[in-house]
Structure 1
Amino acid sequence: MEISNSPARGELTRRRRAVFAAFVAFGLVLGSWAAHLPILKSNLHASTSELGIILLILGGGAFFGMQASGYAANKFGSGKVAAIGSLALSVTTVPPLFCSTWASAAIASLAMGISVGIIEVGANAAAVEVEREYQRPIMSSFHGMFSVGSVLGSVIGAGAFALNISYRFTLPTVALMVLILLVVSAKTLMTIQTDPTPQVVTGSTATSSRVQRSNRQTMQLIAYGCLAFLLLLTEGSAMDWSSLHAQEHLDATSSGAALALACFVSAMTIGRFTIDRLAERIGPARILRYGSALSIAGLIAVFCSPVLPLACIGWAAMGLGLSGCVPQVFTATGNLSGSNAKELARVVGAGYIAVLAGPAIIGWLADQFGINNAFILPIIGMVICLVSANILEPKKEPVATH
């Protein structure tokens, strides 16, 4: 589709880099936060279940922030929302770890969660706009930059622990890094707008066509939300349970278990930086179809593997297959005729519910049937994604008659 009044190439590059900065900041905070969770638990003298409640509160704040930021992006522009989210993250990252009571930590975590929700939708909506201006797939590279930020945040945390550097220094440093990323990107981010006006059919049959289109789009958005849920449930299963699976099912050492997760994360990161060109050639539906098939093959290898090396190959195949799937769903949502940032917020929110609920579902299944058998659930989820891939095929809009 031709895009009129597209920015000059240099401006497009600046916008892409600015959104890159927002995704790196997002990943940096989440990677650092995950590394410091044991300190939060220790500071609060909290049990595992009490820490779980803190994380649930953070997740609830994120879900609220996503929905609110969808409306804000329509009114003020997705770039402004992404910039506000970066600023909010730089302010809210530090307080939870400095709290000494459960109540104060809950409030601080709620604020951080809202910030996470704001930047999640703002950055993805801005990425959709920049991708539309580029007129070729680039969404996966944005998610690749999030992975880079996550790894960087985790490495900073691990390095600080190894060098006995206090979190009282490390976390403010991470917050400062986020603020620096915002300073260098804010001016360009502010120029990225979001069109809040749904496309409508003109002519004598406008009213009935609009109703029909609205019904079809509603079903498409529900389908996109379901795909996001299943894909992120599968991704979360690997992130949260691959190491434990290696230890409990394959009797791996701690370092071997870490290798299983590293294979998945590394393959996913590599895939995110390479999948865009392939998506341009074969289209989003085939990316989802072939990616789901590769993920299923990887999961089956993990399920059937009697040894760690084969399981690691399975995790790598799964990560590579999944790497391009979620970006295609987000792109399809943002480019659906008549949709805007509010619809994107709902699809992203559906995926985030899977991020929150997935670990608990897999954990319950592991307790009931064993951790290896628990992976049958994500296998089923990816089969559904495989057979539903045609949902992402671009559809021609009906032509109004006069």
Structure 2
Amino acid sequence: MERSLRLGRLATFAYFVLNGFLMGMWIVHIPDIEHRAGISHAVLGWLLLLLGAGAFAGMQLVGPLTDRFGARTVVPLSAALCSAGVVLPGWAPNAWTLGAALLVLGLGNGCLDVSMNAHAIQVEHGYRRPVMSAFHAAFSIGGVLAALAGARMLSWGWSPVANLGTVALVGLVVAAVAAPALLGAGGTRLPDPPAAAATEGRGTKTPRRVWGLAALALMIMLCEGVANDWSTLHLRNVLGAPAATAALAYGAFSTAMTVGRLLTDRVAARFGPVAVLRYGASAAALGLTTASLSSSVPVTLTGWTLFGAGLSGCVPQLFSAAGHADPDAAGTNVSRVAGLGYVGMLAGPAVIGPLTQVIPLHLTFFLPVACCVVAAATAGILRPRNAAPTRLETPDGATDSGSSPAHVGPETTSDTHSVERSHEH
């Protein structure tokens, strides 16, 4: 494997960790920032919509820019914008300035999210095997690092400006140091096979397929948003668990998500992305159904764990398929999928709230269960248009015709195992 490709992969890991770290540090400092600005929880809730709006705008803006100027140029600039933006909320003395700061931070986050995923597509194309899920696991690891570092910095009694200013400087250094290792325009690629579908996205039907992937991303990320905001409240309010025990629900979900993403690339290489989405979404539906109907805390925690494990590999497969649909429009296609997915992440928690006025909280979870069922039923959208379904032999001798062979994006390669394998993490 070319050294430049290895370095490009390491640089991509660095940017994913950085993105998770920056956003995690903002989250850790929310209570102090809210106090400094003198606002209520309700006002903060409305201001957080500006963070989401900025992120969505950044995603749509940077997609075409990445296609035009290349991820090597756009990723470092996006990382610098996100790093600089993270310090702004710490300076905000009132609601108006905090809203403007969150808009800028969201813009930087959205730009970095799409551009680094577009670069990850280039890296994956070069490796000619799935590597996307490990990058998304790196984002989660960045959030864990932020929680640990943030707790330590807060224990020192530093102000939000000092803490986030330090974080911003670290982010700018990482953005600059990792930039030279990024792949150039077009990335480092192995020769395409004769029947490769690198141009499958050039036809008039491509937008429909990409929007289909985006719709699935919305549903899957809606499920993630529900788990993020309601899993702990579920154990606390429905099962009457102590606060410390209730917190384990989100911990179980997020841990399963991280571990699952570290393992998913190997599963996708063996059974194909269709199988990852189909069986992952099915497992997630089973897990959340179990959690919703159980009156036992251990069983409920098991259900939330299975929910996280099932969802863990789904979104990376959707991003990968969108990026590989047309290499020349990878940034734009990823921005569509990421943008709608982000809408789902924000909408999930917001939808559950009003539903609890009509039905009990645990029954509202059948909305994300339904989303998982739809995702499992339509997983075939990940199969390349020109690749026929294949029957894969499973360890017990059974066959599965629902997934395509190990491949990356639209390409079906016969030499996957001849490519040098390296550890996913």
Structure 1 residues 212, 325: CA separation in 2 closer, same or farther (over 3 Å shift)? closer
Partner of residue 22, structure 1: 15
Output the CA distance in 1 between the equivalents of 2:11 and 2:317: 21
Partner of residue 141, structure 1: 134
Q: Deviations over 1:39-76 (max 9, x none)?
A: 22211221222111211111111111111101110111
Partner of residue 362, structure 2: 372
SS at match of 2:170: helix
Structure 1 residues 97, 193: CA separation in 2 closer, same or farther (over 3 Å shift)? farther
Q: Deviations over 1:128-147 (max 9, x none)?
A: 11101110000000000000
Instruction: Give the aligned length.
Output: 378
Does residue 1:284 correspond to 2:277, yes or no? no
Partner of residue 111, structure 2: 118
Partner of residue 204, structure 1: none
What are the residue-to-residue correspondences of 1:63-212 with 2, within 5 Å?
Answer: 63-189=56-182, 191=184, 193=186
* Pairwise CA RMSD: 2.1
What percentage of residue pairs aligned between the two structures are identical?
A: 37
Output the CA distance in 2 between the equivalents of 1:213 and 1:121: 21
Output the CA distance in 1 between the equivalents of 2:267 and 2:41: 43
Partner of residue 242, structure 2: 253
- Answer whether contact 2:239 2:297 (CA < 8 A) is retained: yes
Output the CA distance in 2 between the equivalents of 1:362 and 1:345: 26
- Answer whether contact 2:5 2:183 (CA < 8 A) is retained: no
Give the deviation of 1:297 after TM superposition: 1.1
Q: Deviations over 1:220-258 (max 9, x none)?
A: 112101110000000111111111111001111111111
Does residue 1:309 correspond to 2:298, yes or no? yes
Partner of residue 363, structure 1: 353
What are the residue-to-residue correspondences of 1:319-398 with 2, within 5 Å?
Answer: 319-337=308-326, 339-396=329-386
Structure 1 residues 84, 212: CA separation in 2 closer, same or farther (over 3 Å shift)? closer
- Answer whether contact 2:67 2:329 (CA < 8 A) is retained: no
Output the CA distance in 1 between the equivalents of 2:208 and 2:109: 28
Match of 1:11 among 4, 8, 11: 4
Partner of residue 5, structure 1: none
Paired amino acid for 2:55: A
Q: Deviations over 1:204-228 (max 9, x none)?
A: xxxxxx9996332122112101110
SS at match of 1:368: coil
Q: Which runs of 4+ in 1 moved over 6 A?
A: 210-213
- Answer whether contact 1:79 1:193 (CA < 8 A) is retained: no
Give the deviation of 1:341 after TM superposition: 1.3
Output the CA distance in 1 between the equivalents of 2:229 and 2:149: 20
Give the deviation of 1:122 after TM superposition: 0.4
Paired amino acid for 1:129: Q
Output the CA distance in 2 between the equivalents of 1:317 and 1:385: 16
Q: Deviations over 1:181-202 (max 9, x none)?
A: 213201112635479xxxxxxx
Partner of residue 266, structure 1: 255
- Answer whether contact 2:200 2:325 (CA < 8 A) is retained: no
Paired amino acid for 1:283: G
Query: 364-373 or 12-21: which moved more?
Result: 364-373
Give the deviation of 1:371 after TM superposition: 1.4
Partner of residue 405, structure 2: none
Paired amino acid for 2:121: V
Unaligned 5+ segments in structure 2 are 189-198, 389-425
Structure 1 residues 215, 176: CA separation in 2 closer, same or farther (over 3 Å shift)? same
- Answer whether contact 1:79 1:190 (CA < 8 A) is retained: yes
SS at match of 1:369: coil
- Answer whether contact 2:64 2:329 (CA < 8 A) is retained: no
Paired amino acid for 2:280: G
Structure 1 residues 322, 211: CA separation in 2 closer, same or farther (over 3 Å shift)? closer
Unaligned 5+ segments in structure 1 are 1-7, 196-209
